[in-house]
Chain A
Amino acid sequence: MAKVSLSSVLAPYTEGVLELELDVVNVRQLFQLLGQRFPDLQTHLEHDIAVAIDNEIFQDALLEPIARDSEVILISKIAGG
Protein backbone atom coordinates (compact mmCIF):
# COMPACT_ATOMS: atom_id res chain seq x y z
CA MET A 1 0.00 0.00 0.00
CA ALA A 2 1.35 3.42 -0.96
CA LYS A 3 1.37 6.00 1.79
CA VAL A 4 -0.61 8.95 0.46
CA SER A 5 -0.60 12.42 2.03
CA LEU A 6 -2.39 15.51 0.88
CA SER A 7 -1.06 19.04 1.17
CA SER A 8 -2.95 20.88 3.90
CA VAL A 9 -4.34 23.20 1.25
CA LEU A 10 -6.61 20.35 0.11
CA ALA A 11 -8.19 19.76 3.54
CA PRO A 12 -11.41 21.64 2.67
CA TYR A 13 -12.09 19.11 -0.09
CA THR A 14 -11.42 15.90 1.88
CA GLU A 15 -13.36 16.53 5.09
CA GLY A 16 -10.01 17.22 6.69
CA VAL A 17 -8.48 13.81 5.81
CA LEU A 18 -4.83 14.40 4.92
CA GLU A 19 -3.31 10.92 5.20
CA LEU A 20 -4.37 7.54 3.94
CA GLU A 21 -3.00 4.32 2.48
CA LEU A 22 -4.10 3.20 -0.98
CA ASP A 23 -3.39 0.21 -3.15
CA VAL A 24 -2.58 1.81 -6.51
CA VAL A 25 -0.03 1.20 -9.25
CA ASN A 26 -0.03 4.58 -10.95
CA VAL A 27 -1.21 8.18 -10.68
CA ARG A 28 -4.34 7.56 -12.71
CA GLN A 29 -5.54 4.89 -10.28
CA LEU A 30 -4.65 7.14 -7.37
CA PHE A 31 -6.76 9.96 -8.80
CA GLN A 32 -9.66 7.58 -9.52
CA LEU A 33 -9.74 6.27 -5.97
CA LEU A 34 -9.37 9.70 -4.42
CA GLY A 35 -12.04 11.16 -6.69
CA GLN A 36 -14.49 8.43 -5.70
CA ARG A 37 -13.77 8.86 -2.03
CA PHE A 38 -13.77 12.68 -2.02
CA PRO A 39 -16.12 14.04 -4.71
CA ASP A 40 -15.22 17.65 -3.85
CA LEU A 41 -11.62 16.86 -4.75
CA GLN A 42 -12.52 15.61 -8.24
CA THR A 43 -12.33 18.93 -10.07
CA HIS A 44 -9.01 19.73 -8.39
CA LEU A 45 -7.58 16.36 -9.37
CA GLU A 46 -8.47 17.22 -12.93
CA HIS A 47 -7.01 20.68 -13.06
CA ASP A 48 -4.70 21.85 -10.34
CA ILE A 49 -3.01 19.00 -8.53
CA ALA A 50 0.49 17.66 -8.97
CA VAL A 51 1.92 14.55 -7.32
CA ALA A 52 5.20 14.10 -5.50
CA ILE A 53 6.24 10.45 -5.63
CA ASP A 54 9.08 9.81 -3.19
CA ASN A 55 9.67 13.58 -3.14
CA GLU A 56 9.93 13.99 -6.89
CA ILE A 57 7.21 16.23 -8.33
CA PHE A 58 5.21 15.07 -11.36
CA GLN A 59 2.71 17.31 -13.17
CA ASP A 60 0.30 15.78 -15.67
CA ALA A 61 1.77 12.31 -15.40
CA LEU A 62 -1.21 9.96 -15.14
CA LEU A 63 0.78 6.87 -16.09
CA GLU A 64 3.65 7.49 -13.69
CA PRO A 65 4.10 4.26 -11.69
CA ILE A 66 3.63 4.23 -7.94
CA ALA A 67 5.56 1.52 -6.12
CA ARG A 68 4.10 -0.50 -3.26
CA ASP A 69 6.15 1.32 -0.64
CA SER A 70 6.11 4.74 -2.29
CA GLU A 71 5.33 7.91 -0.40
CA VAL A 72 2.93 9.98 -2.45
CA ILE A 73 2.04 13.60 -1.70
CA LEU A 74 -0.63 15.59 -3.52
CA ILE A 75 0.28 19.26 -3.94
CA SER A 76 -0.83 22.27 -5.95
CA LYS A 77 0.29 22.46 -9.55
CA ILE A 78 2.86 25.10 -10.38
CA ALA A 79 2.92 27.46 -13.35
CA GLY A 80 5.08 30.52 -13.82
CA GLY A 81 6.01 33.67 -15.70
Chain B
Amino acid sequence: MSRNHVSATVNGDQVEFLCETGQTLLDALRDELRLTGTKEGCGTGDCGACSVMVDGRLVCSCLMLAVEAEGKAIETVEGMAKGEKLHPLQKKFIEHAALQCGICTPGFLIAARALLERNPDPTESEVRFWLAGNLCRCTGYQKIVEAVLDAGREMRGA
Protein backbone atom coordinates (compact mmCIF):
# COMPACT_ATOMS: atom_id res chain seq x y z
CA MET B 1 0.00 0.00 0.00
CA SER B 2 1.56 3.31 -1.02
CA ARG B 3 1.74 5.97 1.63
CA ASN B 4 1.18 9.69 1.41
CA HIS B 5 3.66 12.35 2.38
CA VAL B 6 2.25 15.08 4.63
CA SER B 7 3.93 18.20 5.98
CA ALA B 8 2.29 20.31 8.65
CA THR B 9 3.13 22.10 11.86
CA VAL B 10 2.35 20.49 15.18
CA ASN B 11 2.56 22.71 18.25
CA GLY B 12 4.65 25.11 16.21
CA ASP B 13 7.14 22.52 14.99
CA GLN B 14 7.47 21.68 11.31
CA VAL B 15 6.73 17.95 10.89
CA GLU B 16 6.65 15.52 8.03
CA PHE B 17 5.16 12.05 8.06
CA LEU B 18 3.90 9.27 5.84
CA CYS B 19 0.37 7.96 6.23
CA GLU B 20 -2.07 5.59 4.64
CA THR B 21 -4.84 7.27 2.68
CA GLY B 22 -7.49 6.08 5.11
CA GLN B 23 -5.51 6.91 8.23
CA THR B 24 -7.02 9.47 10.58
CA LEU B 25 -5.20 12.51 11.88
CA LEU B 26 -5.55 10.96 15.32
CA ASP B 27 -3.73 7.80 14.25
CA ALA B 28 -1.04 9.81 12.48
CA LEU B 29 -0.44 11.94 15.58
CA ARG B 30 -0.28 8.87 17.80
CA ASP B 31 1.36 6.28 15.58
CA GLU B 32 3.49 8.27 13.14
CA LEU B 33 4.48 11.26 15.31
CA ARG B 34 4.30 9.37 18.64
CA LEU B 35 2.27 12.18 20.20
CA THR B 36 0.14 9.91 22.34
CA GLY B 37 -1.32 12.69 24.53
CA THR B 38 -4.31 12.85 22.20
CA LYS B 39 -6.60 9.91 23.02
CA GLU B 40 -9.06 7.70 21.18
CA GLY B 41 -12.24 6.98 23.10
CA CYS B 42 -14.64 6.12 20.31
CA GLY B 43 -13.26 6.76 16.82
CA THR B 44 -16.63 8.18 15.74
CA GLY B 45 -16.48 11.77 16.93
CA ASP B 46 -18.79 11.20 19.88
CA CYS B 47 -16.49 11.47 22.92
CA GLY B 48 -14.11 14.37 22.26
CA ALA B 49 -11.06 12.62 23.75
CA CYS B 50 -9.20 13.23 20.48
CA SER B 51 -9.93 16.98 20.35
CA VAL B 52 -7.17 19.05 18.70
CA MET B 53 -7.00 22.47 17.08
CA VAL B 54 -6.49 22.64 13.31
CA ASP B 55 -5.83 26.13 12.01
CA GLY B 56 -7.59 27.53 15.05
CA ARG B 57 -10.65 25.27 14.78
CA LEU B 58 -11.61 22.69 17.38
CA VAL B 59 -11.92 19.30 15.67
CA CYS B 60 -12.16 15.64 16.54
CA SER B 61 -8.93 14.30 15.10
CA CYS B 62 -10.55 10.86 14.66
CA LEU B 63 -12.91 12.36 12.06
CA MET B 64 -10.21 14.03 9.98
CA LEU B 65 -7.96 12.23 7.54
CA ALA B 66 -4.26 12.66 8.12
CA VAL B 67 -3.76 13.69 4.49
CA GLU B 68 -6.09 16.62 5.12
CA ALA B 69 -3.54 18.00 7.57
CA GLU B 70 -1.24 19.01 4.72
CA GLY B 71 -0.08 22.57 5.33
CA LYS B 72 -2.19 22.95 8.45
CA ALA B 73 -1.25 24.15 11.94
CA ILE B 74 -2.19 21.54 14.52
CA GLU B 75 -2.21 22.06 18.26
CA THR B 76 -2.38 19.21 20.77
CA VAL B 77 -2.24 18.88 24.53
CA GLU B 78 1.52 18.42 24.36
CA GLY B 79 1.81 22.06 23.27
CA MET B 80 -0.31 23.60 26.01
CA ALA B 81 2.34 24.14 28.66
CA LYS B 82 5.02 26.70 27.89
CA GLY B 83 8.23 25.05 29.00
CA GLU B 84 7.83 24.24 32.69
CA LYS B 85 4.87 26.59 33.04
CA LEU B 86 1.50 24.91 32.88
CA HIS B 87 -1.37 26.63 31.08
CA PRO B 88 -3.85 28.09 33.62
CA LEU B 89 -6.40 25.45 32.59
CA GLN B 90 -3.90 22.65 33.31
CA LYS B 91 -3.15 24.17 36.69
CA LYS B 92 -6.80 24.64 37.57
CA PHE B 93 -7.71 21.10 36.50
CA ILE B 94 -5.21 19.78 39.04
CA GLU B 95 -6.21 22.29 41.72
CA HIS B 96 -9.94 21.57 41.41
CA ALA B 97 -9.54 17.77 41.20
CA ALA B 98 -11.14 18.09 37.77
CA LEU B 99 -9.54 14.89 36.55
CA GLN B 100 -9.67 11.36 37.81
CA CYS B 101 -8.56 8.67 35.37
CA GLY B 102 -7.35 11.40 33.02
CA ILE B 103 -8.11 9.78 29.67
CA CYS B 104 -10.60 12.52 28.71
CA THR B 105 -8.47 15.33 30.17
CA PRO B 106 -6.41 16.26 27.07
CA GLY B 107 -9.61 16.63 25.03
CA PHE B 108 -11.30 18.70 27.72
CA LEU B 109 -8.28 20.98 28.03
CA ILE B 110 -8.12 21.63 24.29
CA ALA B 111 -11.88 22.22 24.10
CA ALA B 112 -11.90 24.46 27.17
CA ARG B 113 -9.01 26.54 25.86
CA ALA B 114 -10.92 27.02 22.59
CA LEU B 115 -13.91 28.22 24.62
CA LEU B 116 -11.94 30.70 26.71
CA GLU B 117 -10.24 32.09 23.59
CA ARG B 118 -13.64 32.90 22.10
CA ASN B 119 -15.47 33.72 25.30
CA PRO B 120 -13.14 34.72 28.14
CA ASP B 121 -16.01 35.10 30.62
CA PRO B 122 -18.45 32.24 30.04
CA THR B 123 -21.38 31.45 32.30
CA GLU B 124 -21.59 28.01 33.93
CA SER B 125 -24.26 27.06 31.43
CA GLU B 126 -22.10 28.20 28.48
CA VAL B 127 -19.25 26.04 29.80
CA ARG B 128 -21.55 23.02 30.14
CA PHE B 129 -22.92 23.39 26.60
CA TRP B 130 -19.51 24.06 25.02
CA LEU B 131 -18.08 20.96 26.68
CA ALA B 132 -21.10 18.78 25.82
CA GLY B 133 -19.05 17.15 23.06
CA ASN B 134 -16.52 15.82 25.54
CA LEU B 135 -17.42 12.76 27.60
CA CYS B 136 -16.06 12.18 31.08
CA ARG B 137 -17.21 9.06 32.90
CA CYS B 138 -15.44 9.67 36.22
CA THR B 139 -16.17 13.14 37.54
CA GLY B 140 -19.79 13.98 36.81
CA TYR B 141 -18.35 17.17 35.21
CA GLN B 142 -18.88 19.32 38.31
CA LYS B 143 -15.23 19.90 39.08
CA ILE B 144 -14.33 20.27 35.39
CA VAL B 145 -16.84 23.09 35.05
CA GLU B 146 -15.50 24.73 38.22
CA ALA B 147 -11.90 24.46 36.95
CA VAL B 148 -12.76 26.03 33.60
CA LEU B 149 -14.62 28.92 35.25
CA ASP B 150 -11.74 29.49 37.64
CA ALA B 151 -9.14 29.36 34.86
CA GLY B 152 -11.23 31.91 32.96
CA ARG B 153 -11.14 34.18 36.01
CA GLU B 154 -7.39 33.84 36.29
CA MET B 155 -6.79 34.44 32.59
CA ARG B 156 -8.97 37.55 32.68
CA GLY B 157 -7.04 38.72 35.70
CA ALA B 158 -10.33 38.97 37.55
A and B touch in the complex (CB under 8 A): no
Question: CB within 8 Å of B: which residues of A?
Answer: none
Task: Report which B residues bind A (CB closer than 8 A).
Answer: none
